[in-house]
Protein backbone atom coordinates (compact mmCIF):
# COMPACT_ATOMS: atom_id res chain seq x y z
CA UNK A 1 0.00 0.00 0.00
CA UNK A 2 1.49 3.34 -1.02
CA UNK A 3 1.81 6.33 1.30
CA UNK A 4 -1.22 8.18 -0.11
CA UNK A 5 -3.48 5.15 0.39
CA UNK A 6 -2.21 4.78 3.95
CA UNK A 7 -3.20 8.35 4.67
CA UNK A 8 -6.69 7.82 3.22
CA UNK A 9 -7.19 4.58 5.15
CA UNK A 10 -6.09 5.99 8.49
CA UNK A 11 -7.55 9.48 8.32
CA UNK A 12 -10.75 9.17 6.29
CA UNK A 13 -13.80 7.24 7.46
CA UNK A 14 -16.40 6.11 4.89
CA UNK A 15 -19.93 6.17 6.29
CA UNK A 16 -23.19 4.99 4.71
CA UNK A 17 -26.04 7.18 5.93
CA UNK A 18 -29.19 5.07 5.47
CA UNK A 19 -32.68 6.44 6.08
CA UNK A 20 -36.28 5.55 5.26
CA UNK A 21 -38.73 7.12 2.86
CA UNK A 22 -42.25 6.67 1.53
CA UNK A 23 -43.01 6.29 -2.18
CA UNK A 24 -46.33 6.05 -4.02
CA UNK A 25 -47.15 4.33 -7.30
CA UNK A 26 -49.78 3.42 -9.86
CA UNK A 27 -48.54 -0.17 -10.16
CA UNK A 28 -46.04 -2.55 -8.59
CA UNK A 29 -43.30 -1.26 -10.90
CA UNK A 30 -44.05 2.47 -10.97
CA UNK A 31 -43.04 4.33 -7.80
CA UNK A 32 -42.04 7.93 -7.12
CA UNK A 33 -41.43 10.16 -4.14
CA UNK A 34 -44.73 11.99 -3.46
CA UNK A 35 -44.79 15.76 -3.73
CA UNK A 36 -46.87 16.26 -0.58
CA UNK A 37 -44.27 14.92 1.88
CA UNK A 38 -40.61 15.49 2.55
CA UNK A 39 -38.50 12.35 2.42
CA UNK A 40 -36.92 10.77 4.36
CA UNK A 41 -39.69 10.15 6.90
CA UNK A 42 -37.39 8.37 9.40
CA UNK A 43 -33.71 8.87 10.15
CA UNK A 44 -31.27 7.92 12.90
CA UNK A 45 -32.14 11.18 14.67
CA UNK A 46 -35.69 9.92 15.28
CA UNK A 47 -34.45 6.97 17.36
CA UNK A 48 -34.73 7.87 21.06
CA UNK A 49 -34.00 4.71 23.07
CA UNK A 50 -30.57 3.72 21.67
CA UNK A 51 -27.73 5.62 19.99
CA UNK A 52 -28.40 5.06 16.30
CA UNK A 53 -26.06 5.27 13.32
CA UNK A 54 -28.74 4.68 10.69
CA UNK A 55 -32.17 3.16 9.94
CA UNK A 56 -32.90 0.85 6.99
CA UNK A 57 -34.77 -2.23 5.67
CA UNK A 58 -38.37 -1.09 6.31
CA UNK A 59 -41.42 -3.38 6.20
CA UNK A 60 -44.93 -2.46 7.27
CA UNK A 61 -48.49 -3.63 7.95
CA UNK A 62 -51.80 -1.80 8.16
CA UNK A 63 -54.12 -2.91 10.95
CA UNK A 64 -57.36 -1.13 11.87
CA UNK A 65 -56.34 2.06 10.13
CA UNK A 66 -52.88 2.25 11.70
CA UNK A 67 -49.63 1.64 9.83
CA UNK A 68 -46.92 -0.24 11.70
CA UNK A 69 -43.42 -0.10 10.28
CA UNK A 70 -40.59 -2.38 11.40
CA UNK A 71 -37.00 -1.62 10.41
CA UNK A 72 -33.35 -2.04 11.29
CA UNK A 73 -31.67 0.37 13.67
CA UNK A 74 -27.88 0.17 13.66
CA UNK A 75 -27.08 0.47 17.36
CA UNK A 76 -23.90 2.50 17.82
CA UNK A 77 -23.42 1.11 21.32
CA UNK A 78 -22.66 -2.45 20.19
CA UNK A 79 -22.48 -2.08 16.39
CA UNK A 80 -25.33 -4.53 15.88
CA UNK A 81 -28.71 -4.13 14.27
CA UNK A 82 -31.88 -4.05 16.38
CA UNK A 83 -35.48 -4.17 15.13
CA UNK A 84 -37.51 -1.05 15.80
CA UNK A 85 -41.10 0.15 15.37
CA UNK A 86 -42.69 3.34 14.05
CA UNK A 87 -46.39 4.09 13.54
CA UNK A 88 -48.51 6.30 11.31
CA UNK A 89 -52.20 7.08 10.87
CA UNK A 90 -51.88 7.96 7.19
CA UNK A 91 -48.70 6.21 5.96
CA UNK A 92 -46.90 9.51 5.40
CA UNK A 93 -46.30 11.07 8.82
CA UNK A 94 -44.39 8.64 11.03
CA UNK A 95 -43.64 8.55 14.77
CA UNK A 96 -40.79 6.48 16.16
CA UNK A 97 -41.84 4.20 19.02
CA UNK A 98 -39.16 1.83 20.33
CA UNK A 99 -36.82 -1.10 19.82
CA UNK A 100 -38.94 -4.28 19.78
CA UNK A 101 -36.36 -7.05 19.17
CA UNK A 102 -32.83 -6.91 20.54
CA UNK A 103 -30.56 -9.95 20.37
CA UNK A 104 -26.88 -10.51 21.13
CA UNK A 105 -26.32 -10.83 17.37
CA UNK A 106 -27.02 -8.55 14.42
CA UNK A 107 -30.59 -8.30 13.06
CA UNK A 108 -31.91 -6.57 9.96
CA UNK A 109 -34.52 -6.96 7.17
CA UNK A 110 -37.56 -7.50 9.50
CA UNK A 111 -39.92 -9.24 7.08
CA UNK A 112 -43.24 -8.88 8.93
CA UNK A 113 -46.48 -10.58 7.84
CA UNK A 114 -49.81 -11.88 9.12
CA UNK A 115 -51.13 -15.44 8.87
CA UNK A 116 -54.23 -16.95 10.48
CA UNK A 117 -54.66 -13.83 12.64
CA UNK A 118 -51.14 -14.19 14.00
CA UNK A 119 -48.30 -11.76 13.39
CA UNK A 120 -44.90 -13.12 12.39
CA UNK A 121 -41.54 -11.56 11.67
CA UNK A 122 -38.46 -13.05 10.02
CA UNK A 123 -35.39 -10.84 10.49
CA UNK A 124 -32.09 -11.48 8.81
CA UNK A 125 -29.86 -13.26 11.35
CA UNK A 126 -27.02 -14.59 9.21
CA UNK A 127 -24.56 -13.86 12.02
CA UNK A 128 -25.90 -17.01 13.73
CA UNK A 129 -26.27 -19.01 10.49
CA UNK A 130 -30.02 -19.37 10.64
CA UNK A 131 -33.41 -18.08 9.47
CA UNK A 132 -35.32 -17.29 12.66
CA UNK A 133 -39.11 -16.97 12.98
CA UNK A 134 -40.60 -14.65 15.61
CA UNK A 135 -44.24 -14.34 16.67
CA UNK A 136 -46.02 -11.41 18.31
CA UNK A 137 -47.43 -12.16 21.75
CA UNK A 138 -48.57 -8.54 22.12
CA UNK A 139 -48.56 -6.86 18.72
CA UNK A 140 -46.75 -4.71 17.81
CA UNK A 141 -44.21 -4.40 20.67
CA UNK A 142 -43.63 -7.87 22.13
CA UNK A 143 -42.17 -10.72 20.10
CA UNK A 144 -40.92 -14.19 20.98
CA UNK A 145 -38.59 -16.48 19.08
CA UNK A 146 -40.51 -19.50 17.75
CA UNK A 147 -37.99 -21.64 15.84
CA UNK A 148 -35.28 -21.75 13.21
CA UNK A 149 -36.91 -22.29 9.84
CA UNK A 150 -33.51 -23.46 8.62
CA UNK A 151 -29.91 -23.28 9.71
CA UNK A 152 -26.38 -23.99 8.55
CA UNK A 153 -25.55 -21.07 6.27
CA UNK A 154 -25.37 -17.27 6.31
CA UNK A 155 -28.86 -16.85 4.87
CA UNK A 156 -29.58 -13.24 3.92
CA UNK A 157 -32.85 -11.35 3.45
CA UNK A 158 -35.26 -14.29 3.67
CA UNK A 159 -38.59 -13.41 2.03
CA UNK A 160 -41.70 -15.58 2.42
CA UNK A 161 -45.08 -15.63 0.71
CA UNK A 162 -48.10 -17.93 0.40
CA UNK A 163 -49.23 -19.16 -3.02
CA UNK A 164 -51.40 -22.08 -4.15
CA UNK A 165 -51.47 -23.91 -0.81
CA UNK A 166 -47.73 -23.67 -0.16
CA UNK A 167 -45.42 -21.37 1.70
CA UNK A 168 -42.43 -20.28 -0.35
CA UNK A 169 -39.16 -18.80 0.83
CA UNK A 170 -36.51 -16.98 -1.20
CA UNK A 171 -33.15 -16.22 0.40
CA UNK A 172 -29.65 -15.26 -0.60
CA UNK A 173 -26.28 -15.40 1.17
CA UNK A 174 -23.80 -12.68 2.16
CA UNK A 175 -22.11 -12.78 -1.24
CA UNK A 176 -25.41 -11.61 -2.82
CA UNK A 177 -24.91 -13.71 -5.95
CA UNK A 178 -27.07 -16.77 -5.20
CA UNK A 179 -30.85 -17.08 -4.74
CA UNK A 180 -32.20 -20.19 -3.03
CA UNK A 181 -35.84 -21.33 -3.10
CA UNK A 182 -37.62 -23.47 -0.48
CA UNK A 183 -41.22 -24.50 0.09
CA UNK A 184 -43.35 -25.95 2.90
CA UNK A 185 -46.96 -27.00 3.33
CA UNK A 186 -46.98 -25.33 6.75
CA UNK A 187 -45.08 -22.26 7.93
CA UNK A 188 -43.95 -24.09 11.06
CA UNK A 189 -43.34 -27.37 9.26
CA UNK A 190 -40.43 -28.80 7.33
CA UNK A 191 -38.92 -26.66 4.59
CA UNK A 192 -37.78 -28.43 1.41
CA UNK A 193 -35.29 -27.02 -1.04
CA UNK A 194 -36.84 -26.68 -4.48
CA UNK A 195 -35.39 -28.98 -7.20
CA UNK A 196 -34.55 -25.89 -9.29
CA UNK A 197 -32.73 -24.23 -6.37
CA UNK A 198 -30.57 -22.25 -6.51
CA UNK A 199 -32.72 -20.45 -9.06
CA UNK A 200 -29.97 -17.85 -9.61
CA UNK A 201 -26.22 -18.44 -9.41
CA UNK A 202 -23.31 -16.04 -9.80
CA UNK A 203 -25.31 -12.86 -10.44
CA UNK A 204 -25.10 -9.98 -7.98
CA UNK A 205 -27.41 -7.88 -10.17
CA UNK A 206 -30.57 -9.90 -9.50
CA UNK A 207 -30.03 -12.54 -6.82
CA UNK A 208 -30.48 -10.98 -3.38
CA UNK A 209 -34.06 -10.17 -2.25
CA UNK A 210 -34.85 -6.48 -2.04
CA UNK A 211 -38.27 -6.36 -0.38
CA UNK A 212 -41.62 -8.06 0.04
CA UNK A 213 -42.72 -10.66 -2.48
CA UNK A 214 -46.18 -9.45 -3.54
CA UNK A 215 -48.97 -11.75 -4.73
CA UNK A 216 -51.60 -9.59 -6.45
CA UNK A 217 -54.22 -10.33 -9.12
CA UNK A 218 -52.78 -13.80 -9.61
CA UNK A 219 -49.28 -12.48 -10.26
CA UNK A 220 -46.18 -12.92 -8.11
CA UNK A 221 -43.75 -10.01 -8.07
CA UNK A 222 -40.36 -10.31 -6.40
CA UNK A 223 -37.97 -7.43 -5.85
CA UNK A 224 -34.22 -7.87 -5.94
CA UNK A 225 -31.42 -5.55 -4.93
CA UNK A 226 -28.60 -4.92 -7.37
CA UNK A 227 -25.30 -5.33 -5.53
CA UNK A 228 -22.94 -5.42 -8.50
CA UNK A 229 -19.98 -3.04 -8.02
CA UNK A 230 -21.80 -1.12 -5.26
CA UNK A 231 -23.90 -2.65 -2.48
CA UNK A 232 -27.56 -1.63 -2.61
CA UNK A 233 -27.46 0.66 -5.60
CA UNK A 234 -30.93 -0.09 -7.01
CA UNK A 235 -33.94 -2.45 -6.93
CA UNK A 236 -35.31 -4.44 -9.87
CA UNK A 237 -38.65 -6.25 -10.28
CA UNK A 238 -39.32 -9.76 -11.61
CA UNK A 239 -42.56 -11.63 -12.20
CA UNK A 240 -42.50 -15.29 -11.20
CA UNK A 241 -44.44 -16.83 -14.09
CA UNK A 242 -44.36 -20.52 -13.17
CA UNK A 243 -44.16 -21.73 -9.59
CA UNK A 244 -44.80 -25.32 -8.55
CA UNK A 245 -42.97 -27.77 -6.34
CA UNK A 246 -41.18 -28.95 -9.50
CA UNK A 247 -40.72 -25.84 -11.63
CA UNK A 248 -39.69 -22.21 -11.35
CA UNK A 249 -39.68 -19.57 -14.09
CA UNK A 250 -39.45 -15.80 -13.93
CA UNK A 251 -39.03 -12.79 -16.18
CA UNK A 252 -37.82 -9.27 -15.59
CA UNK A 253 -40.77 -6.91 -15.85
CA UNK A 254 -38.83 -3.89 -17.03
CA UNK A 255 -35.20 -3.26 -17.81
CA UNK A 256 -35.35 -0.11 -15.73
CA UNK A 257 -34.86 -0.20 -11.98
CA UNK A 258 -37.91 0.28 -9.76
CA UNK A 259 -36.07 2.51 -7.30
CA UNK A 260 -32.49 3.76 -7.38
CA UNK A 261 -30.20 6.49 -6.11
CA UNK A 262 -31.43 9.95 -7.04
CA UNK A 263 -27.98 11.55 -7.33
CA UNK A 264 -28.67 13.99 -4.51
CA UNK A 265 -30.00 14.19 -0.98
CA UNK A 266 -30.92 11.36 1.38
CA UNK A 267 -30.87 8.65 -1.33
CA UNK A 268 -28.10 10.09 -3.45
CA UNK A 269 -26.00 6.91 -3.68
CA UNK A 270 -28.50 4.04 -3.76
CA UNK A 271 -31.67 2.27 -2.58
CA UNK A 272 -32.09 -1.43 -1.79
CA UNK A 273 -35.46 -2.25 -0.21
CA UNK A 274 -39.15 -1.75 -1.03
CA UNK A 275 -42.38 -2.95 0.60
CA UNK A 276 -45.49 -2.04 -1.46
CA UNK A 277 -49.11 -2.13 -0.22
CA UNK A 278 -52.26 -1.51 -2.23
CA UNK A 279 -54.39 1.37 -0.95
CA UNK A 280 -56.83 1.77 -3.84
CA UNK A 281 -57.49 1.10 -7.50
CA UNK A 282 -54.12 1.56 -9.21
CA UNK A 283 -52.80 3.14 -6.01
CA UNK A 284 -49.88 1.77 -4.01
CA UNK A 285 -47.84 3.03 -1.09
CA UNK A 286 -44.39 1.66 -0.27
CA UNK A 287 -41.78 2.12 2.41
CA UNK A 288 -38.30 2.28 0.94
CA UNK A 289 -34.76 3.00 2.07
CA UNK A 290 -31.85 4.87 0.60
CA UNK A 291 -28.42 6.17 1.47
CA UNK A 292 -25.70 8.63 0.74
CA UNK A 293 -22.02 8.20 1.47
CA UNK A 294 -20.16 10.68 3.64
CA UNK A 295 -16.44 10.92 4.24
CA UNK A 296 -15.27 12.00 7.68
CA UNK A 297 -11.77 12.68 8.91
CA UNK A 298 -10.76 10.60 11.91
CA UNK A 299 -9.73 12.51 15.01
CA UNK A 300 -6.91 10.16 16.07
CA UNK A 301 -3.31 10.87 15.12
CA UNK A 302 -1.20 8.21 13.43
CA UNK A 303 2.53 7.89 12.94
CA UNK A 304 3.49 6.50 9.54
CA UNK A 305 7.24 6.79 10.00
| pTM reported for the whole predicted model | 0.93
User: How big is the CA angle at 280 (ends 275 and 286), to the nearest 5 degrees?
Assistant: 15
pLDDT in tens, 123-142: 999 999 999 999 999 999 99
pLDDT in tens, 146-194: 999 999 999 999 999 999 999 999 999 999 999 999 999 999 999 999 9
User: How big is the CA angle at 163 (ends 204 and 272), to the nearest 5 degrees?
Assistant: 30
Q: Which of 250, 272, 253, 251 lies closest to 261, judged by CA?
A: 272
**What average pLDDT does the chain have?**
93
Return d(Cα 221, Cα 224) in angstroms, integer: 10
pLDDT in tens, 36-71: 999 999 999 999 999 999 999 999 999 999 999 999
Q: Which of 279, 214, 267, 54 lies closest to 224, judged by CA?
A: 214
| Rounded percentage of the chain residues whose pLDDT exceeds 90 | 89
Domains and CATH numbers, the chain: 16-294 (2.115.10.20)
Mean pLDDT of 196-213: 97
pLDDT over 60 (residue 4): no
**All residues at 6 or more sequence positions from 78 whose CB lies less than 8 Å from its CB, including other chains:** none
pLDDT in tens, 59-113: 999 999 999 999 999 999 999 999 999 999 999 999 999 999 999 999 999 999 9
pLDDT over 50 (residue 206): yes
- The pLDDT, as a whole number, for residue 304 is 32
Which helix or strand (DSSP H or E) is residue 153 part of?
none
Mean pLDDT of 264-292: 97
Cα first-last separation, the chain: 14
**All residues at 6 or more sequence positions from 227 whose CB lies less than 8 Å from its CB, including other chains:** 176, 177, 204, 205, 208, 233, 272
pLDDT in tens, 11-23: 567 788 999 999 9
Q: Dihedrals φ, ψ of 129, to 5°?
A: 55, 50
pLDDT over 90 (residue 229): no
Split at pLDDT 50, 70, 90, the class of 297 is: low
- The pLDDT, as a whole number, for residue 11 is 52
Q: By the 8 A CB rule, do 67 and 81 touch?
A: no
pLDDT higher for 236 or 254?
A: 236
- The pLDDT, as a whole number, for residue 294 is 82
Q: Which of 139-148, 169-178, 275-284, 287-296 has the lowest mean pLDDT?
A: 287-296
Return d(Cα 249, Cα 242) in angstroms, integer: 5
Cα→Cα distances 119→107, 133, 135, 142, 294, Å: 18, 11, 6, 11, 37
Amino acid sequence: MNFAKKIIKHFVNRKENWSIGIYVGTSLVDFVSPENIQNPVLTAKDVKDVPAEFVADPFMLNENGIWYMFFEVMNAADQKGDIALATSSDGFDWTYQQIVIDEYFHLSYPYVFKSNNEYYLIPESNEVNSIRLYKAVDFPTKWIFVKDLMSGDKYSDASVFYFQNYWWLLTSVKSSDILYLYYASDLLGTWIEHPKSPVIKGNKNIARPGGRVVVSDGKIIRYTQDDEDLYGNQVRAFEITDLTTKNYEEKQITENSIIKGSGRGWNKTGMHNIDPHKIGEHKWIACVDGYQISWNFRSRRHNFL
